[in-house]
Structure 1
Amino acid sequence: MTVTSSGVSASLSRLQLQVTRRLDGLLQGEYLGLLPGPGSEAGESREYRPGDDVRRMDWPVTARTTVPHVRLTEADRELETWLAVDASASLDFGTGTMLKRELALAAAAAMTHLTVRGGNRIGALVGTGDAPVVRIPARGGRRGAQALLHRIARIQDDPGPHPAQGASGIGELLDGLARPPRRRGLVVVISDFLSPVAGWERPLKRLRVRHDLLAIEIVDPRELELPPVGVVEFVDAETGRVHTVQTSDPKLRTRYAKAAAAQRDEIADALRGAGAVRLRLRTDSDWLMDMVRFVVGRRHLRDRGSTR
C-alpha cells in the first residue's frame, strides 16, 4: 500500500476495508476502549491480584478484611483517544512489504476503527520534524475518523519544511498532548522511537499520570540486522549523511546486530518505565494479525482482572 497525494482516498478505502474485515468482532464492549482502563466512576472492590495497579488499593476494605483489595471503577461511557503520530524522515524507510510511514498510517487506521464507537472521540497530533506539530481536533463518529486519517495521510503535502529537512521530535509531540490538560483517556504513540530516549521518556511519563498509554513501535528488519550483500551506501534520512558499509564483513554485521538489540532494549525499558503498553509492528510481517493477537491478549488480561 503506497499512499500518494493522488491516491490517498483509494488507498485509505482499501486499508479501512482490510482493517474492518479483520478486526470486527474484537472490540471490548460498547463503551470500553482498546486498553481496559480504570475509568472514573467508583465500582466494587475485589481481592488484589498480581499486576493490579497499586494506586487503586481499597485501604478501608483491606483494613477491615486484612486481605489486600483494589477498588474497581466503571468504564467511562465515552472514551477520548489521542494519536501522537511520528511522521519524521526516519519513517521513509522500509525493506518489507511497505514503508514504515505506510505502516504507521495503517496502525492509525486500526486504532480509529477500534476506538470510534458509542460516541467516542479521536484526535491526533502529527510531528514531521522541524515543521510545527499539526493538531487535528478530536471528533466523534466514523466520518470524523475518516477525515482524521485523510489529514494524517496528507501531512507530508502540507506547506512548510518537508519531513526530510528535520529530525524526529517525539518529545515535542508528547508535550503537545499535555497542554492543555485533557480529560482522562487513551494516548496512542505511533513511532519508530529512534530519536534519543532522553528526549521523550519524561514527557511520556507525564502523560501516564493522567492517561492510559499505548506505544506502537514501528520496526523494519534491516534496522535489526544486516544481510551480506556487499558494499552498501546508507543515507541518514534525517541528516543527509552518507555511510558506506561493507556488509559482507561478518564482524561488522555482528556488531550492528548487537548495537541494534541494545538500542531496542533501551527503548523497551523506557516505554516500560513510563507505564506504556507496547505493541511492535514490523514491515515484513502480518501487522493486522499482530494487532489481532494484541487485542485478544488485552481482552484476556481484562477478563482476568489485570490491566497491566
Structure 2
Amino acid sequence: MRTSLPVLPSRLRKIAALAATVAAGAAIWPAQAATDNVASCKGTIYLTFDTGSQSHADYIAQTLKKHHIKATFFLANEKTIHGDYTLDPAWAPYWKSRVAEGHAFGTHTFDHVYVQRDLPDGRIEVKPQFGAQAGKKEVWTAAQYCSELQRVADRFTELTGAKLDHLWRAPGGKLTPQLLAAGRACGYSHVAWAEAGFSGDELPSDKWPNAMLLQKALQKLKDGDIVMAHLGIWSRKDPWAPAVLEPLISGLEQKGYCFATLRDHPAYQAALSKQQTAVIK
C-alpha cells in the first residue's frame, strides 16, 4: 500500500520556508561578501614572495588559500631543502597549483644573478649564485641579461603551460642604470618593495625577532605598499612565515585592507594588460 506524506501544520510549513530562504541566501553569500569586501577596502596591499629554500612554500600557499588571497611570486632556480631546485620538474605540481589559484608570477633571474656594477663599455658585471658559473663574476651584455630573465619564463611555461607575467625583480633588489635599462629593453617591469614592505625574513632572528617584525609591518604598511618575503630562508633560525604571515594578514584585514596581485597594481596594470593583449593576438 502506498503511504502518503503527512501534511505539515501551518507553523512547521512557515519554519521550513524560512529555512529554505536562509539556505538560498547562504548559497550566494560568499560571492556577495567578496563583492562587499572589495567595495569596503580601506586600501590594497600587494604580497610578493621570492623563491628561496622553499622550507615554508607549502605553508605560505595554504595560508594564502585559507584567506582567499592572491599574491605574486618571483621565481629563480634556487636550491631547496629537498636537495633539488625550485624550477626542477618535481616542482611542477606546486607551480601549477598556484597558477590554478590565480596568483601572478615574475622572473627573479634563473641563476639568481646579482648585479655588481655597470662597465664603461655598456656591459654589466654580474655574479650568479647558482648554476655552472655560481660565485664567479662575469661580464654580460644587456642581451645576455635579457636571456637570463627569459630563461625563467621559458621554464615556467614548460612546467605549467602558463605564461609568466612580464615582471622582474633583481636579486637583493639591487639595480644599476644599465641593468634597469636592459630589463626595460626586453619588456620587463622591475618590481621593488615599499620600505615598510621589507618583511625582514632574511635578517638574524636574535636581533630582529618575529614579534618586532610583525608590529613594524602592522604599524607602517599603507595602501599600495608592496610586501616582499621569501618561500624559505636558510639562515634565519626562527622562521618568519609560520610566526608572522597569518597574524599579519589577519591584522591588515582587521584594519580594512584587501590584497591583490601586481596585475592590479597601478604601476604595472597598464603594461601587463598590453602584454596580455599581445599574447592573445
TM-score by length of 2: 0.33
Higher strand share: 1
Q: Which has the larger radius of gyration?
A: 2
Higher relative contact order (CA 8 A, sep 6+): 2
TM-score by length of 1: 0.31
